Each structure stands twice: as structure tokens, then as C-alpha cells.
């Protein structure tokens, strides 16, 4: 499981604040599943996480467009693919509930993706934004 720590800070305050919230939402979801809090409680955390992902991606994409970020099309495509992945997980949860396979998908897919995306694509994007004075 991935947790937020200082190695995930991009140096862009707004992006880092939202990334911390994404990791908190992810941790809350994993915790709710592991503690078997019940389908309704787990769905609330799934719903919050998926909604927050959408809001965060919109904010990042807006910053990229406004700053003329040259890698915007690729970054948006990566976001779009992950949006679909999250929606598939929400659908899967609604159909299966918090099965062991769902737990593995959440920790493997969402946790790993967030960690790797922040450390790679978002670090590059944030460095560009900061260089443009958009921090």
C-alpha cells in the first residue's frame, strides 16, 4: 500500500495539497475495506475517491492548458485512461462488493498508478508549471 510522504511532493503547493487528499482518500478506501466497514461505508469512500480524481484531473489539465504545457495531450490521455479505470472499479464494486479481487485491484491499480503517476508525469508537469511561475 502506498502512503503519502514528502518524496511525493512536487513543489507545486496546489497540486501537492490535492495529491495528499487523493492519497488520504485511497488510504480511507483501503482501510474501510480491510476493516470490513460494510458496503455502504465502502461505497462512500469509493464514490469520494472517484469524484476527487475527476476534480483533481480537471484542475491539473486546466493548469496545463493555461501554461502551454507541451505534453498536455499525452498527460490528458493518461488521465482519461485512468478515469475509465476508476469508473470500471466503481462498477465492479457495485456488482461484486468488496471482494478479495476488488481489494487487490484497488491496492494494485489505484495505489500503484497514483504513486507512479505522481513520481513521473506529475513531477515533470509541476516542474514545468513552476518554471512558468504557475506555482
What's this model's pTM, rounded to 2 decimal places? 0.89
Q: How far is CA 58 from the centre of its chain?
A: 12
Q: Determine the CATH number of domain 8-131.
A: 1.20.120.50
CA distances from 38 to 31, 41, 61, 67 (A): 11, 6, 35, 44
pLDDT beyond 80 at 100? no
The residue that leads in pLDDT, 60 or 43, is 60
Amino acid at each position: 500500500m502506498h502512503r503519502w510522504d514528502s518524496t511525493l511532493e512536487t513543489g507545486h503547493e496546489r497540486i501537492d495539497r490535492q495529491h495528499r487528499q487523493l492519497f488520504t482518500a485511497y488510504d480511507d478506501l483501503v482501510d474501510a475495506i480491510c476493516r470490513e466497514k460494510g458496503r455502504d461505508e465502502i461505497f462512500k469512500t469509493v464514490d469520494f475517491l472517484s469524484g476527487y480524481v475527476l476534480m483533481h484531473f480537471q484542475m491539473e489539465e486546466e493548469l496545463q492548458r493555461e501554461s502551454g504545457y507541451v505534453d498536455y495531450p499525452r498527460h490528458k490521455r493518461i488521465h482519461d485512461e485512468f478515469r475509465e479505470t476508476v469508473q470500471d472499479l466503481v462498477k465492479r464494486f457495485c456488482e461484486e462488493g468488496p471482494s478479495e479481487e476488488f481489494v487487490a485491484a484497488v491496492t494494485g491499480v489505484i495505489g500503484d498508478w497514483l504513486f507512479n503517476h505522481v513520481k513521473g508525469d506529475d513531477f515533470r508537469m509541476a516542474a514545468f508549471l513552476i518554471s512558468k511561475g504557475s506555482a
